[in-house]
Amino acid sequence: MQKPRQIRVLPDHVINKIAAGEVVERPAAVLKELLENALDAGGRRIDVIINGGGRDLVSVSDDGCGLGRDEVLLAVERHATSKITDLDDIEKINTLGFRGEALAAIAAVSRFRLYSRPAAEQAGTEMTISAGKIQDLRDLGCPPGTTVEVRNLFFNVPARRKFLRTPATESGHIRHTFLTTALARPETGFNLTMDRRRIYSLPAGDTLEQRLRSLFPGLDYTNLRPLDLERQGVSVSGYASLPALNRADRSEQYFFINGRPAAAPTLWACVQAAYRGSLPAGRHPYLFLFIVLNPGAVDVNVHPTKREVRFHDPRLLRDVCTEALGRALAQPGPARAADPTPSTPATTHPPAAASLPALDHFLRAMSTPPPVRSARPLSTPLSAIGGAHPCPGRPPEPSGAAGTPWNWYQILGTIGGRFVVLETDEGLALLDPHAAHERVLYESLLRQYRERTTAAQPLLSPITVELTPTDAGRLRRGLEALRQMGFGLDEFGEDAFIIDALPVGLEDSNPGTLVREIAALLDEPGAARATLEEGVVRAACHAAVKATHSLPTQQIDALLKQLLAAEMPYTCPHGRPTLINITLQELNRKFGRD
Ligand code: ADP
Ligand code: MG
């Protein structure tokens, strides 16, 4: 029989190693904790140095209050904090940290060095810790303030180290953390150096506009509107984009609650309400919202990394936000930029860009239609499809049934400005031309890409696009695949890209809009290569296909035939149906005529 196991209280170094998992999951989380400490210490200038995506080094220096010798020792004790003394203090917390576990946790899983000096003291103190064990403590001459260096994160926890992603991916997270923190505190100066390259030098004493311009040089400031509203102790300020400046995801919506970057799904609904009717479905504005409210009205203690906050009165907050957004959006159209001398030429990306490729051009460009592979009929036998499809260069027969699952059909018209209604020998069919176009374009690009037959169309003059750091990271990861698809794309400075060619079939697109859209639609990396390539193609067609309403019958007909020649004709690349068939039997049944 097995001996009963003894219950033991775990030694501190084990507890710290376990706790480390909660607080620091990756180098960016270390950076976040160190930045918060530097800000809480009243730093006016903060220097960040990162090597190897933070796996090799995360270093943060500040010119804040500094720590005396005894405090240095205490700082790395678990639950040692200078920020609260009692449970009640949590209710009115106005510092970023308060749990007193970050430094202990980080020091437990790295080679850690801290040196610090309060301005009033002559000498500073240096402490080194390896895997949670203090190695050395001594006097050191150093400037006032504190520096914390974290090397070889997780070197003593191989299981966790294994889960770190490539330096490029970790760098992306690091930059995001830096950016949100620097945005939250325009009055503080920040430098970021990565692998010996200076990425940002942000002066102290910036206004929010100045900070935004330094961090997002490519943003179209003529389409941003300031917000400023206070109601019942809740204030909302910052910037929101006019509907004309929008994107496919929420990744450029920044919320700061009492100076703390926070995820605020509670606020999504009021953002949606404020933009209702002015943004197409699935599009999102750019937002930089600073919410300040009584610290007692928000609960930051929900999660150790403090990203999610809970509001005691979410209704009030939502009301104030909705009103603030409503007022901001009611301001007149593109007029004033936040600053009369923009650092980079502003670029606009129209909401439903009319300049995107006309379907008819696309159809013309598809001069060699793909062979019919497995265009399955909806309810007719395969033989009914036949091998026929539109001949290159010859206009399609207006209502010929060749290449379709029906023996004959005719296009009756459009309903809802969107769906095409067809009468067929079997009953009724409904076509979504947008989804159909997406499917056709998707397969064509994917085929060109896989068969290495991509044709590129050079642009008359190359253009540059400036992306947000997140988008730039995504695009960089998809760069290889995009080039193989016929995009002439190169990095051009930190987060800018130069475009000098587009794949055939997309050459009528606005290149800047297209590349922005693709970047925004590309998801996190890590997926298999094939999926990344598919993702790029999918994003490209999503971005390229726009207005398909009010197409002449001939074009609908040509599109229909292209669609039915596709490998998977009945869904768009996102899985939505392209064609819905309603048979006469179904109609008879519905009308009770069986
Ligand atoms: P918390 O921030 O939750 O209090 P930490 O483990 O991050 O816990 O830090 C512990 C303590 O160390 C802080 O309360 C603070 O007194 C001190 N400290 C940490 N970093 C700094 C810094 N950069 N400057 C001054 N004091 C610091
Ligand atoms: Mg802290």
Answer whether 353 contacts ligand 1 (Cβ < 6 A). no
Residue 6 pLDDT greater than 60, yes or no = yes
**Range with the lowest mean pLDDT among 180-189, 298-307, 491-500?**
298-307
Contact by Cβ (8 Å): 140, 122: no
CA-75 nearest atom, ligand 1? 12
141 CA distance to ligand 1 centroid (A)? 21
Answer whether 167 contacts ligand 1 (Cβ < 6 A). no
238 CA distance to ligand 2 centroid (A)? 26
CA-65 nearest atom, ligand 1? 25
82 CA distance to ligand 1 centroid (A)? 7
Q: Please tell me the distance from the alpha carbon of residue 252 to that of residue 271, in angstroms, as a whole number.
A: 13
Q: Compute the average pLDDT of residues 67-94.
A: 74
Q: Compute the average pLDDT of residues 146-173.
A: 91
Q: Please tell me the distance from the alpha carbon of residue 72 to that of residue 69, in angstroms, as a whole number.
A: 5
Q: Please tell me the distance from the alpha carbon of residue 482 to that of residue 543, in angstroms, as a whole number.
A: 14
pTM for the complete prediction? 0.64
pLDDT tier, 266 (very low <50, low <70, confident <90, very high otherwise)? confident
Answer whether 82 contacts ligand 1 (Cβ < 6 A). yes
Percent of the chain with pLDDT over 90: 34
Answer whether 101 contacts ligand 1 (Cβ < 6 A). yes
Answer whether 260 contacts ligand 1 (Cβ < 6 A). no
pLDDT at 18: 66
21 CA distance to ligand 2 centroid (A)? 15
CA distances from 565 to 161, 378, 425, 452 (A): 49, 13, 20, 21
305 CA distance to ligand 1 centroid (A)? 15
35 CA distance to ligand 2 centroid (A)? 8
| DSSP conformation letters of 29-95 | HHHHHHHHHHHHTT-SEEEEEEEGGGTSEEEEEE-SS---HHHHHHHTSTT--SS-SSHHHHHT--S
Q: How far is CA 51 from the centre of its chain?
A: 24
pLDDT tier, 351 (very low <50, low <70, confident <90, very high otherwise)? very low
- The residues, any chain, with a CB within 8 Å of residue 79's CB and separated by 6 or more, are 99, 100, 101, 104
Contact by Cβ (8 Å): 193, 199: yes
Residue 369 pLDDT greater than 90, yes or no = no
Q: Please tell me the distance from the alpha carbon of residue 581 to that of residue 56, in angstroms, as a whole number.
A: 59
pLDDT tier, 186 (very low <50, low <70, confident <90, very high otherwise)? very high
Q: Please tell me the distance from the alpha carbon of residue 298 to that of residue 186, in angstroms, as a whole number.
A: 23
Q: What b/e readout covers 390-417, taking b as 16+ CB neighbours within 10 angstroms?
A: beeeeebeeeebebbbbeebebeebeee
Q: Please tell me the distance from the alpha carbon of residue 297 to that of residue 184, in angstroms, as a whole number.
A: 20
Look up residue 11 and give its amino acid. Answer: P
Give the model confidence (pLDDT) of 467-524 as tens digits.
988 889 888 888 888 888 788 898 887 788 999 888 877 777 788 888 888 887 776 5
Length of the chain: 594
Q: Which of 16, 40, 59 to mutate to test the pocket of ligand 1 (most atoms within 8 A of CB)?
A: 40
Answer whether 39 contacts ligand 1 (Cβ < 6 A). no
Task: Output DSSP code: residue 371.
Answer: P
